[in-house]
A and B are shown apart, each in its own frame.
Chain A
């Protein structure tokens, strides 16, 4: 069972309290009704499936109930860092070689 740091509670809590909520940093267009089929396809259907660093959304379901973003390594399952929803994709990751 993983320990995940909730950026709102500022605490590491067991995985049981959390739910994964899919890939992060996929913005919903402010003019979604006017999007082309291709743009909507990219927005709704296309997801990355990297071996290594992934940016994803989690929800502290059985804690503060907030959605937040996390950087996780899909090879080691280790959480590199977590940050609040709405914050930009981190430019630098702690302890990860480029």
Chain B
């Protein structure tokens, strides 16, 4: 026997399949198929948690996804500790270990419960009012304490060892919700042959058929019919049936996000199974069959463990075979709680009394309850519950006042009526409409191709639901292109039916009271808090929601929103629709980050791009840096070298012998076609028409606003063919920029653009010995200075493979950039390296590349420019074609502010103390003695130690910089002011003779 409250022969679980589990270290027995909630209840455990704010003892309110109270932590191992799991949806497995949350030192004795006594301090909006003074206490006292106290559960502190999967799917008809309505719609659609997906959040389909013993379809018990229908659907080739799958978000154009819990219910999930699977489904038509959620009654101490929704108690009995008490009271404002009382009574549980707020209701369930000998009281209210860790009594009073009577109970079932689940409909941007007669918000105006059926549409009764859902499924299939329907509609032989109920606070919890009658259990919001919010000036329900936090907990107000709205409306003296419903947002229930992120984490978070020589550099012990998605060799330390020592050695070697550098990451675009030169004229500031084939030019690209966008050396391979290089980070946006102009502004030009960044590996060989290293390996290219001068390009062969050999230099030394097909990159590099060894060449990385170019005053776009620098500002006026009448940026460059005096200009800086290296980004002032805040006239853009110059060097943007040559400026730093002299940007080999050295 698995628990003293398990009723023999009740429920659908097999008693033979025992599963052991623990809660707060105590071991219990349950049955396979139980939820953690039903298994605990079978053992008589109601107290499972403490509330968020007041730390009040809490039990189970529901038997499903709407549960606000019974949040527990499930512990599988050190890394797998999932907090805030709703015990009502966690399926039991043998060995499951769960802990309660938000209590210390123990669940039954919780120090935090002092908040309950001090509750006047913690009423609505207390965050905004209580922690105002003294101001300094916020940072030191209030915030740390609040952060410590706030939150539910404890996050796991180890990386998630589970894996998650992600799938996209398309279908004609997506049915969300697998109760009677959803199954009927899916059957109707599936029988036409269209592609159908049917999803339900529960482990077993059937929805409310799980507890509605009165439902009979096609001659069978409703739940049995549902299982047969699902088996039939699952066997159809055009249908996908997804259980344990929650549709959490409804996005534009019938795009629905669902999460499937694949292995959380398994004792030992294999590593081949993901924990969860994210489904992103695009459907031609969506059928919403999300059902309805029962509301609680709002009365004093309605949160005591043992007080729960009537439908939940019925589920625990009829599906799990568990009685939620032995002496049960019922408090209701509609018929549905009677059915729960009747089922429990028939199972042998004493029903202490039914308290019905309605005056003289009639109907078969009331007659049946009376016939079973249950005491039924009309026109009465439960004004308070007794007991603390478990409900012990209910006190009843005529609803208009009068004598009180206290009835001992160990559980109270309550029902204020059912709220249609319009969450997904609302997320689809549909507008809900208030039905004044039934006091329900139901789907009104649709924004997408979807339809609501059954209880979520406000349709009452199984027969009407079956008619509506079957017709809607059939119509959805036809709308999606189906031609013929072959099936027959299931026949409803018997059903239960109820509707109506009440909204807001019950008698005894009215405006004249100060009792704790909970509206929102998870955020501890009472009816009094809602009224207080209105009294303090909140008028919109959106303000009331935020001030009280009603409906803002992880359950998103599934049970509380309508009550909160009704109380606010009553206090405002306005009809409910005028106060308005808060917006429903995704996710419907919490979704793990794991499911959303799926495989996109760790190395798979973002692509990593590696150059052809990466393995070689790795073998040499290179240190890499991330440049966008690229891994670039940063420096090549020898034994005992730090970065500075390595960079100093590399920089000196390049200028004394030679260095090899992998420049493959530079963006490369081939501009080809009869109008290629015309296109280049329009996209770059420079003139191109007269550039001879075989020659190169340094090009500057502007945006239309006149600021520098990119730069790079361009080689003209033939009259109609340019090999354009871009910055490493700029390659994709330059390509986009070029395509944009070519396609939309200059479509008359006959030009093709091709990204060739990854087609060519680029090996820069720089230094006095560079030609000696390359020449022996080259075929078909005359390497003399006359035949191959600086800034020229030839096509030929190196090491037997094709090359585009550029004579160019980003170091100021004689230099070459050897382009070879990327597949040969490492082989050619190794050949050049072997040759280089004969001349004492070194490999150098990006840090040395930066130092070497700064020694020559070559700028890096994006480092020395920031999107507000013109060619003139950068000292690059010489690269702007003066005779040109059009290029992108020509007009922007002439804007008044861009030609005004005093603009920041790029200059060199030398510190007065040559050993001091400035910080990049440091601000520059003209007078260090001025009062703070000082007038800043510029900043340092590049700064390095230059071993070749024997001193520090820097580039800076300084207002009117070129007029300040030789001036002393100041860089104030936290530990003193640094004196600098404004100089030319060229620090090494000012005449440029070494380019041919």
Contacts and interface: CB of A to CB of B under 8 A. Distances in A.
A33 B740 contact: no
Q: Which 7 interchain pairs have the tightest Cβ spacing? A: A32-B891, A67-B743, A33-B890, A3-B253, A85-B744, A28-B745, A1-B255
A64 B140 CA distance: 57
Given A3-B253, A44-B705, A37 B745 contact: no
Interface in B246-264: 251-253, 255
A85 B745 CA distance: 10
A48 B439 CA distance: 44
Contact of A67 (B255, B282, B739, B895): B739
Interface of B: 251-253, 255, 280, 282, 429, 447, 704-705, 736, 739-740, 743-745, 747, 885-886, 890-892, 894-896
Contacts of A44: 704-705, 892
A93 interface: no
Interface residues of A, number: 22
Given A1-B251, A37-B895, 7 more contacts: A1-B255, A19-B736, A32-B890, A40-B892, A40-B895, A65-B739, A67-B739
Interface in A42-90: 44, 57, 59, 61, 65-67, 76-77, 85-86
23 contacts: A1-B251, A1-B252, A1-B253, A2-B252, A2-B253, A3-B253, A3-B282, A19-B736, A32-B891, A33-B885, A33-B886, A35-B891, A37-B896, A40-B891, A44-B704, A59-B739, A59-B740, A66-B743, A67-B739, A67-B743, A67-B744, A76-B447, A86-B744
Contacts of B280: 1
Contacts of A2: 252-253
A33 B685 CA distance: 13
Nearest to A69: B744
For B251, B736, B891, which residue has the most chain A Cβ atoms within 10 angstroms?
B891
B706 to A, nearest CB: 10
Interface string A1-29: 11100000000000000010100000010
Contacts of A59: 736, 739-740
Query: Which residue, A21, A33, A65, A86, has most C-beta atoms of chain B within 10 A?
Result: A33
Contacts of B885: 33
A19 B735 CA distance: 14
B892 A57 contact: no
A19 B252 CA distance: 17
A86 B747 contact: yes
A54 to B, nearest CB: 16
Contacts of A3: 253, 282
Contact of B740 (A21, A35, A76, A86): A21
Contacts of A66: 743
Contacts of B895: 37, 40
B740 A67 contact: yes
A28 B745 CA distance: 7
Contacts of B892: 40, 44
A44 B895 CA distance: 12
Given A59-B736, A67-B743, A32 B886 contact: yes
B600 to A, nearest CB: 13
Contacts of A28: 704, 745
A53 B718 CA distance: 47
B252 A77 contact: yes
B892 to A, nearest CB: 7
Contacts of A37: 895-896
A61 B747 CA distance: 18
Contacts of B891: 32-33, 35, 40
Interface of A: 1-3, 19, 21, 28, 32-33, 35, 37, 40, 44, 57, 59, 61, 65-67, 76-77, 85-86
B742 to A, nearest CB: 9
Contacts of B252: 1-2, 77
A91 to B, nearest CB: 21
A4 B146 CA distance: 47
B133 to A, nearest CB: 43
Contacts of B736: 19, 59, 61
Contacts of A61: 736
A25 B772 CA distance: 56
A66 B891 CA distance: 27
A15 to B, nearest CB: 8
A77 B448 CA distance: 12
Contacts of A19: 736
Contacts of B896: 37
Nearest to B254: A3
A3 B736 CA distance: 22
Contacts of B447: 76
A18 B926 CA distance: 49
Contacts of B705: 44
Contacts of B251: 1
A77 B886 CA distance: 38
B302 to A, nearest CB: 42
Given A2-B252, A32-B890, A57 B429 contact: no
Contacts of A1: 251-253, 255, 280
B709 to A, nearest CB: 14
Contacts of B744: 57, 67, 85-86
A50 to B, nearest CB: 19
A28 B282 CA distance: 39
A40 B705 CA distance: 9
Nearest to B257: A1
A37 to B, nearest CB: 7
A57 to B, nearest CB: 7
A28 B890 CA distance: 12
Nearest to B732: A61
Contacts of B704: 28, 44
A29 B705 CA distance: 14
A35 to B, nearest CB: 6
Nearest to A41: B895
B255 A85 contact: no
Contacts of A57: 744
Nearest to B746: A28
A62 to B, nearest CB: 12
Contacts of A33: 885-886, 890-891, 894
Nearest to A39: B891
A3 B252 CA distance: 8
Nearest to A85: B744
B741 to A, nearest CB: 9
B701 to A, nearest CB: 16
Nearest to A57: B744
Contacts of A85: 743-744, 747
A76 B739 contact: no
A17 B744 CA distance: 19
A95 to B, nearest CB: 14
